């Protein structure tokens, strides 16, 4: 089983619509969770950290479900500039920053 | 906004040659990392570095790899004898206060081994 799994997509989303997708992780001792976005052949850019109680940053909402070992990302009012690959990142307890990346979920926002 | 900078942006090297990739982390960050991403694949952890020593390394980071912080600003990754399969994008990252904090990535060095 992969350590971090994501639906590769693509999720084709009309501009202004809402899109949501999940990521599952296998290590129950995982401690830190993040969403990054990656544009084609560019560096990963931090989108948001994911907290146990769930958190929101503008149009983006992240949730963590420790019991079922998944995190989710919801994007409201999608913009063309939201088109990217969204990377789920997990850091295990006692890990010295060994971020484990999912393969990414591609989102394509269409006019 | 402070950023991690990497040089060169693209490095082409003959197989068997040594290569050094350079990074300048964000100035007040204390934790440094190298990752790689082979084309079409996920980002993979190589090594973390804190207080002038390796904190953790992956199975990819074998004896051909080494890291160094030669001065107060640079952080380098050396590959001693490159192989074709070392061709990838190499990302440097840094975090401010601890290994569980968000990591900020540089824009990468594309390494092409011929």
Q: Half-sphere exposure (CA, 13 Å, Cβ side) for B98?
A: 8
Q: Which two tokens stand for residue A108?
A: 């394509």
In contact, A84 and A10? CB cutoff 8 Å: no
A91 pLDDT higher than 80: yes
pLDDT score of B82: 97
A62 pLDDT higher than 90: yes
Q: What are phi and psi of A59, to 5 degrees?
A: -85, 0
pLDDT score of A92: 81
CB of B65 within 8 Å of a chain A CB? The answer is no
User: If chain B, 114 residues long, is cut into consecutive pieces of 10 residues, what is the mean pLDDT of each piece?
Assistant: 92 97 95 96 96 94 95 94 97 91 96 97
A89 pLDDT higher than 80: yes
pLDDT score of A90: 96
| B43–A87 CB contact, under 8 Å | yes
Give the integer Cα–Cα distance in Å for B13 and B28: 33
Please report which helix (H) or strand (E) contains residue B67, including its range: strand B65-68
pLDDT score of A18: 98
Number of residues that this document lists for chain B: 114
pLDDT score of A97: 86
The alpha carbon dihedral of A61, A86, B43, A103 has a sign of: positive
Task: Give the residue-averaged pLDDT of A29-53.
Answer: 94
List CB contacts (< 8 A) between B43 and chain A.
Answer: 44, 87, 99, 101
Split at pLDDT 50, 70, 90, the class of A93 is confident
A45 pLDDT higher than 90: yes
pLDDT score of A103: 96
Which residues of chain A have a Cβ shorter than 8 Å from any chain B Cβ?
31-32, 34, 41-46, 49, 87, 91, 95-104
| B42–A97 CB contact, under 8 Å | no
- C-beta neighbour count of A107 within 10 angstroms: 21
- C-beta neighbour count of A21 within 10 angstroms: 17
Helices (H) then strands (E): counts for chain B: 0, 11
- In 3D space, the residue among B20, B28, B11 whose CA is nearest the CA of residue B77 turns out to be B20
CB of B103 within 8 Å of a chain A CB? The answer is yes
CA separation, residue B75 to residues A5, A53, A87, B69 (Å): 31, 36, 25, 5
- In 3D space, the residue among B69, B89, B84, B70 whose CA is nearest the CA of residue B17 turns out to be B84
Task: Give the residue-averaged pLDDT of A22-34.
Answer: 92
Q: Half-sphere exposure (CA, 13 Å, Cβ side) for A25?
A: 26
Q: Please, what is the average pLDDT of chain A?
A: 94
pLDDT score of B98: 83
Task: Give the residue-averaged pLDDT of A13-32.
Answer: 94
List CB contacts (< 8 A) between A49 and chain B.
Answer: 102
A13 pLDDT higher than 80: yes
CA distance A56 to chain B (A): 16
Give the integer Cα–Cα distance in Å for A86 and B107: 17
């Amino acid at each position: 089983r992969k350590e971090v799994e994501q639906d590769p997509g693509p999720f084709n989303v009309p501009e202004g619509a809402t899109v949501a997708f999940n990521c599952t992780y296998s290590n129950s001792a995982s401690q830190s969770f993040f969403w990054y976005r990656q544009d084609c052949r560019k560096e990963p850019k931090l989108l948001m950290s994911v907290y146990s109680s769930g958190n929101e940053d503008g149009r983006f909402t992240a949730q963590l479900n420790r019991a079922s070992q998944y995190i989710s990302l919801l994007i409201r009012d999608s913009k063309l500039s939201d088109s990217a690959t969204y990377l789920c990142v997990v850091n295990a307890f006692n890990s010295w920053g060994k971020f484990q990346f999912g393969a990414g979920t591609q989102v394509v926002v269409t006019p | 906004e402070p950023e991690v900078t990497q040089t060169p942006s693209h490095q082409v090297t003959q197989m068997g040659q040594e290569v050094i990739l350079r990074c300048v982390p964000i100035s007040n960050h204390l934790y440094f990392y190298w990752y790689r991403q082979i084309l079409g694949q996920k980002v993979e952890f190589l090594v973390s570095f804190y207080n002038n020593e390796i904190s953790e390394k992956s199975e990819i980071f074998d004896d051909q790899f080494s890291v160094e912080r030669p001065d107060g600003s640079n952080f380098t990754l050396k590959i001693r004898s490159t192989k074709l399969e070392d061709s990838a994008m190499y990302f440097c990252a840094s975090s401010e206060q601890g290994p569980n904090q968000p990591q900020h990535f540089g824009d990468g060095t594309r390494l092409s081994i011929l």
